[in-house]
Amino acid sequence: MSNNQFKRGELYSVINGMASTAVARRLQKNFRQAGLDITIEQWSILYHLWKEDCLNQQELCNRTFRDKPSITRLIDNLEKQKLVKRMPSKTDRRINLVCLTDAARELQHQTIDIANDTMNEALQGIDREEIEVVKQVLQRVYDNLT
């Protein structure tokens, strides 16, 4: 096979594995070192609820790019840890609203600095315009496939 044929595969490798894995692991490690018993996946759910509380599960699917069973189980685990509570919607009985507890609101203050520090570390030496390009390209990749 020519080298050319592997260019795309290599890019797949880059987009899919490397950076995201490294960032995720570092963030997880930094949470743990701060004594916070929370996974980055759980954090990413809380992150969206901190921006807008009491989203339903489908909305969390859309915003986190996960499927419904994944959200069901993440919410199960977050409920076990008393960080969120499922509240049945009054207008549509199919819907669960996922609402933050006080404990989760407290967690926001504990994690936001860790997340910012981690991303600053990850983005060291990369300038604003490059970051902008990455965001736009990844957004377009996503749009191309959905």
Instruction: For the chain, give the number of residues.
Output: 146
Beta strand spans in 40-137 (E): 55-56, 84-88, 96-100
Choice from 6, 11, 18, 68 touching DNA (CB under 7 A): 68
**Contact map string, positions 22 to 61, toward a copy of itself, x by CB under 8 A:** xxxxxx------------x---x--x--xx----------
- Rounded Cα gap, residues 39 and 29, in angstroms: 10
84-88: strand order across its sheet = 55-56, 96-100, 84-88
Residue 56 is which amino acid?
N
| Binding status of residue 116 toward a copy of itself by CB under 8 A | yes
Q: Interface with a copy of itself includes 139 (CB under 8 A)? A: yes
C-beta separation of 31 from 38 below 8 A: yes
Q: Measure the CA–CA gap between 52 and 54, rounded to whole angstroms.
A: 7
- CB of residue 42 vs a copy of itself: minimum separation in angstroms? 14
The answer to the question of residue 2 lying near a copy of itself (CB under 8 A) is no
Interacting residues toward a copy of itself by CB under 8 A: 1, 5-6, 8-9, 11-27, 40, 44, 47, 50-51, 64-66, 108, 112, 115-116, 118-126, 130-131, 133-142, 144-146
Residues of the shown chain interacting with DNA in the complex, contacts defined by CB under 7 A: 21, 24-25, 28-29, 39, 41-42, 56-59, 66-77, 86, 92-97
